[in-house]
Amino acid sequence: MTSLPADSTPVPHPSLSELFRAFFSMALHGFGGVLPWARRAIVEEKRWMTAQEFNEAFAVAQFLPGANVVNLAVVFGGRLHGAAGAAVALAGLLLPPMAIVLVLGALYGRFGDLEALQRVLGGVAAAAAGLVGAMVIKMGQPLLREGAPALIVAALAFVAIGVMRYPLPYVLLVLAPISIGLAAWVRR
């Protein structure tokens, strides 16, 4: 673990229940993405990690398979309290949103066929697609600096999955090694 910067005070080691409450509250604040809230809570408010430590933990969380914030809860909780810490952070992160969407899902099941609700959801669905569209642009920009091989790989992944609708496992088993090979070749 890297040392704390000089201006930060030593931080008390959070207990399991503090861990649970912190992730519980992040999950409930996280509209349109939990990550900004996770960073704010862990780095700025609680000072459980430095910005540098958070970035490194997030890089691992993003790179390994699975939802990014879910992985972050596992990495962060695991570092503090092992498997129990990971489980507690995960429970705090997932249980409140699960309860909320189950209520919404039940309402959708009951009233989803109503004309008015269909019209409202039609609008919201179009906006939801736009929100993730903005994230694609943000994610894609760094690729422009990477050059042609990275752009071609991204385009191939898009076409294979989004247009051709090939099964994801097969596409990844072919494309991931190629992309890693290209990355090694570019950095040789």
Single-letter code of the amino acid located at 36:
P
CB 81 within 8 A of CB 19: yes
Single-letter code of the amino acid located at 110:
R
| Among residues 7, 78, 84, 114, the one that binds other proteins under rule CB under 8 A | 78
| Among residues 11, 51, 114, 176, the one that binds other proteins under rule CB under 8 A | 176
CB of 123 to other proteins, least distance (A): 3
Q: How far apart are CA 25 and CA 93, in angstroms?
A: 8
Site membership for other proteins, residue 71 (CB under 8 A): yes
Determine the interface stretch with other proteins among 3-11, 14-22, 39-47, 108-116 (rule: CB under 8 A): 108-116
CB of 20 to other proteins, least distance (A): 15
Distance of CA 171 to the CA centre of its chain: 22
Question: Terminal CA-to-CA distance of the chain, rounded, Å?
Answer: 30
Exposure on the CB side of residue 188, measured as CA atoms within 13 A: 5
CB of 6 to other proteins, least distance (A): 23
> Could you tell me which of 185, 113, 109, 182 has the C-alpha nearest to residue 152?
182
SS3 per residue for 48-66: CCCHHHHHHHHHHHHHCCC
CB of 102 to other proteins, least distance (A): 6
Residue whose tokens read 């290209």: 182
| Among residues 17, 106, 114, 145, the one that binds other proteins under rule CB under 8 A | 106
Site membership for other proteins, residue 143 (CB under 8 A): yes
Site membership for other proteins, residue 74 (CB under 8 A): yes
Site membership for other proteins, residue 181 (CB under 8 A): yes
Site membership for other proteins, residue 114 (CB under 8 A): no
Nearer to other proteins, 7 or 129 (CB): 129
Site membership for other proteins, residue 84 (CB under 8 A): no
**Largest Cα–Cα separation, the chain:** 60
- Span 6-65, contacts to other proteins by CB under 8 A: 27-34, 56, 59-65
